Amino acid sequence: RYPQTQWSLVPKVSFTRRSCGLMRGLLVIALLGLCAAVEWKDSPMLSDTWRAVSTDDFDTLLALTVSSSASFVQQRAADGRGAMWWAYEYRNPAALALFKHLSVSEEERDAVGLLPSDVYPDSAEELQELLADADERVAGIPAMLSQFVITLEQMRKEQAERFDEDLAPFEDADLDAGLDDEELDDELEEEEEEDSGPPAPEDIAARIAALKAKAQKMKDEM
């Protein structure tokens, strides 16, 4: 009836109690190998993911998706659970839609053998309503991610502008008074070695205070 394949050539085996025990042992070994391949370990990112899903903080989930290239959805906690389990557990259709868009598996099991959908706390009918709600949201996820990236870039620009405004009062100050050329060169070299991005406000204040103190000390010595 069926074309002969390599599997049809395998001899038939009678499944005795001994052979079933052997198969169970092999299955356990395979599962242990899978756990070793994907380490189940608690982490700060998983804590952030759990908190965002459980409190319906969708903006944080978008931020995690953008900042981690969506790798956070594949991480598993020590109990074998991760983002998809929590989406079901906390009845979060938006999170479920995001994870579906990111192709997170719903067929993997946790440490006690439960699928993500198995931890849904309500009735089967309400589970179908949750899935329907999530499926309707999936199509809008790409646009939401794109808009979030635009918003994030705008926030960065505004932060840089505020940095320039905070620094403006010091641009005309004679902070380098009393410093010779060699000392000024040393200051410039230190600045070039630092990160090219805007320094933190506390770093700015510390640098300005240090320059003022150095200049005042040299003036007093004169």
What does the pLDDT look like over 93-117, one tens digit per residue? 999 999 999 999 999 999 999 999 9
CA 73 to CA 70: how far, in whole Å?
A: 6
Q: What confidence tens digit (pLDDT) does each residue in 35-74 have?
A: 445 689 999 999 999 999 999 999 999 999 988 877 889 9
Q: What confidence tens digit (pLDDT) does each residue in 127-182 have?
A: 999 999 999 999 999 999 999 999 888 888 888 888 877 777 666 555 555 555 66
Could you tell me the two tokens for 73? 């959805």
Residue 162: partners with Cβ closer than 8 Å, 6 or more residues away: none
- Give pLDDT, residue 200: 55
